Structure 1
Amino acid sequence: MRVAFAYIGAEVLGIEILSAQLKQRGHEVQLFYDPSLFDDKAIFSMPSLHRIFDIRPRMIEDLVAFNPDIVGFSVLTNTYQWSLEVAEIVKRRLGVPIIFGGVHPTVVPELVIKRPEVDIINLGEGYESFPELVSAIERGQDYHNIRNLWVKDGDTIIRNEIRPTFHDLDALPYPDKALFGEYLDVGSIYLMITGIGCPYRCTFCSNDLLMDLYDGKGRYIRRRSVDDVIAELVQAKAKYRLRMVKFVDDIFTLNMRWLEEFAERYPREVGVPYYALSHPDHINDKSARLLKASGCHRLELGVQSVNEETKRVILDRPETKEQMAKAFACLEKHGIHYLINHMFGIPTEGEAQQREAARFYADFRPSRIGSYYLKYLPRTRIADIAAEQGLIGLQDIREFEQGYFATVHSTENIDRDLLRVFKNHETLNLLMPLLPRWINRRLANSRIVTAFHWVPSFVRTLLDVFGAAVHNDHETRLFALYYFKMAFKVIGIKMGLNDRLGMRDPMPE
C-alpha cells in the first residue's frame, strides 16, 4: 500500500517511527513537506514574505501525483488549520481515507471527527493502531473496531476504546530518518527520544489531559534501555555524520540509574555533543556532574515563572525558588550551558512578578532566557482559570479549539498595558545573558527597563541571534542556515531552476 504523510515546518519523530513500522511491513511511504517559510505556525508569522515563498500548492500536486491509498496528518493545535486546508483538497481530488492523529485530535476528538475532510482520528499513541489500520485497508478487512480509532461509518461515528500504553519501547524500530532527510539535514541536529511521559501536570500543558486519557491503561512513563539508545546513535553516526544530538524527552534526567549508565557509555561509544530538556526538580550536583561527563552541551529548563504563588496556584508546579537556584548553581558549577524558558501572559502576573523574575535571573548566568507567550491550548486547566478570571471568553475558547493562533511570540488576549510590561522584560531577558551580573542586578531594579518596549522587534531578533553566536548556540545557527537553504531551494523552484524541494544535496556549509 502507498501511505502519504503531510506535515509542516519541522521534523517529527512520531511520523518517522510510524514510517519505519510501515516499511517493515512492506508498505511504500512518502512524506510531503511544506516548509511554510515565514508562516511556520511556531516561530515566524510574516504574511507578506510567506506569500512570496509559499509552495504548498506544489506540495499538494506532488502528493496527488503519488496517488496514495491513505493520507496521514500528525496534528498540533497550531497546525490544525493547515492540516484541514490540505486535507480538504486531497480528499476532494483523491477520495482516499484521511486520518488525523496527534495531540490536537486526541484532546478535542468530537470536534475533529465532525470535519468532512477527516474520516478517521487516532487518539493517543499510534504505534499499534495505525499499522493495524493500514494492514486492514490493504487486505480489504473491516477496520471500524480498531482500538484508539474513531471512525466514520456513514452518518455514524464509531468511538473505540483506548488500548493500554505501549510498554516495550525497545521493540519499536529506529525512526525512518530518510523520510525527513529528503528535506532536512538530519545529522546536523539528530532528534531522538529515549522515553515517553512526564510525571507533572502543569496546567498549561496537554500532558495533563494525556495522563487522564491513559489512567488505568498501564505505565504512563516509559523509557528505552541505554543499550537501545546507544545502538541507534552508533548506527546514525555512521549513516548521517552526526554533529549534534537533541534528546526531546520531557525530562532527560528523570532516572538517575539510567543516567549513570548513559554517562559511562555515551562519550566512549557515541561522543557527539548533545542537547536535552529537564526540570529544576531533577537537577542536583550528581545529575549535573553526569550530564557534563556524558557530553551535554546545553540543557533546557522549563521555568515559566519564578513566583512561588503563581507556580503553586496557577501552574500547578511544585518547585520553589530555592530549588531553582540550586539547579542553576549546579549547572554553572559543572560548566553546562543552560537555557531558561520564561512565559509571559500567565493569569495574575504583571509588573511585580516580572521584576521578581529579573532580580532572580540577575544572580545567574544562563546562556539564554527564552521568552514566549502563553497559549491556551484546548481543554487545559489554565484556560479554565483564565475564563474564570474574565481574561478570555467563550468565543476565544472556540477559536483556540479550532487552532486560531499564530506563534509562540504572538500576543492575542493580552491587555495593552500589560503587553508593554512584557515587551520591556522580553528585551531585558535577551540582554541579561550578554551582560555582567553587576549590570543585570542594576537593570533589574532600574526604571530604565520601563522604556524597553520601544525597542523594535527586529532589534530584539538581532539580540537573540547575537546571543546565540556569543554562547555557541548550534541550534539557533542551524535554524537560520535551514531558512537560508530552504529559501534558496524555493526560489529555484519558482524560477524553474529546480524541480524538487529536497535537501539531499544541500549547499556547502
Structure 2
Amino acid sequence: MFRIVLISLYDMGTHGHRCLSSALKHHGFEVHNVYFGDKVIQDVPQTSEKELLSFDHLVQQLRPNLVGLSVTSLFSHPLAANLSSRIKSFSDAPIIFGGPHPTIVPRFCLEEANIDYVCIGEGEESVVELCKGLSSGKKADDIPGIMTKESRSYLQRNPPQVLDRLPFQDIANEHKYLILSDGSVIEGEPALRGTFYNTKCSRGCPFRCSYCSAAYLRSLCESGKFYRKRSVQNVIAELRRYLEMNPNCSAMGFWDDNFPFDLPWVEEFSSQYKRFIHLPFHIWAHPKTINDRLMGALKSAGLKSVISGVESASDRTRKEIFLRPESREDILKADLVLSKYGIEKTYDFITDHPWENQTELKDTFELLTKLKRPFKINMHNLFLFPNTDLARRAIEEGRMTEKEMIENIISNVPS
C-alpha cells in the first residue's frame, strides 16, 4: 500500500495536517503522522540532536513513499529544509511542502534542493490526486494546486466549497508519533492525551487585513466562496465524537480566523452546544463582529474567553495601513459587551513598524487606559510576509525587498 508520512513542526494542534490525513485515509492510503516537538517553534531555544536522531530513525522505519511537511510560516522553513535534507540522505521518497508558507512563496520553497512538490492552498483534493498518480506510477504534472520543481507553474484549484463533505480531522491513535526534545518517541494521538480540543467551524476570513496572508489566499479562489462555514450539526457531531474518544476533555477551542458571526448560525450553535457539549470554549473574534446578541448567546453556551485583534488605536493606521474596517468606537463598544458578559478578553496589538508615528503609538497606550479591566494584551512586532498587501506596499515604497523580508524572519528563528 502507498504509504505517506505527514510531519508537523512544533505544532501538536495542527488542524490542516489532521484534515489532510483524514482525506488521504478516506481514499485508502496508509498515513503515518509525526509530530516533531512538543513546544511552539518560537519557544524552542535549539532543536536538539537527540530529536533529530530520533526523527531519522523513525522515518527510516516507516519507509514512506511520500513525505509531506506542514510549513506554517517562514519561521519553520529552516527546520523543514533541514529535515528534508536528512530524509533524502536515506530515502528516495519525494517530499512535498504544504501550508500557508509554501502557498505564498512556492518558488522560494522549490529552490530547496530536496523539495519535489509544493501544495498551494487547501490540500485535501490536490494531495489526494497527487498520491493517486504517484501510487500508479504516473507523473504529477498538471495537477491543480500542485507545483513541481520541473514546472515552477501550476493550475489553480478552488478550495472545497461544502466543508460538511470533508471527513473530520484525524485523531485516531494508530500511526501517530510525538518526538520530544529528549529524543523519546511517544506513540498515540497527542490530542487524545490532553484535556483541550481545538477545531474550526469555518475556513477563510471575511476580512482583508493588509498584513495577513488571507487576502492573498482569497486571490487563489477564482470562483466560489473563499469564506465558508460548516453546518452546526457537522461541528457538533465532530465535538461529540471527540468526547466519546476522550472523556477527560475540559474545554474546546475554535481557532477560526474569525468565529462565525451569522446570528441564526450562532443561535443554533449555542443551543446545540449547550445541549450536547456543555464545556467552556474559546474563540477568536474581530471587534466588528462582537455585539450584544452574539456574545449573549455564546456566553449562555459556555464561551469563556475571546482573543481579538485591535492592532492599533490609530484610526489612520488601522484603515489606511492595515486595511481594517473597525473604528475606535467599535473597539470600545466590543470591549463593553465582553465585559458585560464576564468574558475573558485578550487583545492583540502590532507595534514596531515604520508606518506609525510616536503620537499614534501613544494613542494605543491611551486606549489601553479606556478598556475595562481585567484584560490581557499581546504585543507583536510586525513581520512582513511576502505577497501580503502590506509587503507589496513596503517594496513599492522602497522600505524592504522580498529577500530582506525573508532574511529578517529567518534570522529570528533559533538555530
Q: Same fold (TM over 0.5)?
A: yes
Is residue 134 from structure 1 mapped to residue 131 from structure 2 by the alignment? yes
With over 3 angstroms needed to count, the CA separation of the structure-2 counterparts of 1:390 and 1:140, relative to structure 1, is closer
Name the counterpart of 1:7: 8
Contact 2:69 2:98 in 1 (8 A): yes
Is residue 112 from structure 1 mapped to residue 109 from structure 2 by the alignment? yes
Shift of 1:335: 1.3
Shift of 1:374: 1.2
Contact 2:158 2:223 in 1 (8 A): yes
SS state at 2:337 partner: helix
Name the counterpart of 1:465: none
Deviations 1:18-48 (A, max 9, x none): 11122223322112222175xx433x2534x
| Aligned partner of 1:210 among 213, 217, 226 | 217
Q: Gapped runs of 5+ residues in structure 1?
A: 411-509
Count of aligned positions: 396
Please tell me whether Structure 1 or Structure 2 has the larger radius of gyration of its CA atoms. Answer: 1
Shift of 1:83: 0.7
Which amino acid in structure 2 is aligned with residue 3 of structure 1?
Answer: I
Name the counterpart of 1:41: 41
TM-score (norm 2): 0.90
Name the counterpart of 1:464: none
Structure 1 or 2: larger helix share?
Answer: 1
| Aligned partner of 1:311 among 294, 315, 318 | 318
Contact 1:105 1:112 in 2 (8 A): yes
| Aligned partner of 1:123 among 108, 116, 120 | 120
| Aligned partner of 2:57 among 55, 61, 66 | 61
Name the counterpart of 2:163: 169
Which amino acid in structure 1 is aligned with residue 405 of structure 2?
Answer: I
Query: d(CA) in 2 for partners of 1:317 and 1:365?
Result: 24
Deviations 1:372-405 (A, max 9, x none): 21111112222234445565356523425xx514
Mapping of residues 284-323 of structure 1, within 5 Å? 284-323=291-330
Name the counterpart of 1:338: 345
Contact 1:170 1:225 in 2 (8 A): yes
Contact 2:4 2:29 in 1 (8 A): yes
Which amino acid in structure 1 is aligned with residue 373 of structure 2?
Answer: R
Which amino acid in structure 1 is aligned with residue 244 of structure 2?
Answer: A
TM-score (norm 1): 0.74
SS state at 2:41 partner: coil
Shift of 1:111: 1.8
SS state at 2:324 partner: coil
Query: d(CA) in 2 for partners of 1:381 and 1:168?
Result: 28
| Aligned partner of 1:190 among 194, 197, 204 | 197
SS state at 2:97 partner: strand
Which amino acid in structure 2 is aligned with residue 314 of structure 1?
Answer: I
Query: d(CA) in 1 for partners of 2:155 and 2:254?
Result: 31
Name the counterpart of 1:396: 404
With over 3 angstroms needed to count, the CA separation of the structure-2 counterparts of 1:145 and 1:301, relative to structure 1, is same
Name the counterpart of 1:442: none
With over 3 angstroms needed to count, the CA separation of the structure-2 counterparts of 1:366 and 1:198, relative to structure 1, is farther
SS state at 1:177 partner: coil
With over 3 angstroms needed to count, the CA separation of the structure-2 counterparts of 1:372 and 1:149, relative to structure 1, is same
Deviations 1:143-180 (A, max 9, x none): 3221111124xxx3163311222111111111112347
Mapping of residues 345-494 of structure 1, within 5 Å? 345-363=352-370, 364-387=372-395, 391-393=399-401, 395-399=403-407, 404-406=410-412
Which amino acid in structure 2 is aligned with residue 144 of structure 1?
Answer: D
Deviations 1:273-321 (A, max 9, x none): 1000110000111111112111111011011111101111111111110
Query: d(CA) in 1 for partners of 2:253 and 2:50?
Result: 29
Contact 1:91 1:117 in 2 (8 A): yes
SS state at 1:142 partner: coil
| Aligned partner of 2:267 among 260, 269, 282 | 260
Query: d(CA) in 2 for partners of 1:381 and 1:54?
Result: 41
Q: Gapped runs of 5+ residues in structure 2?
A: 179-187
Query: d(CA) in 1 for partners of 2:7 and 2:331?
Result: 40
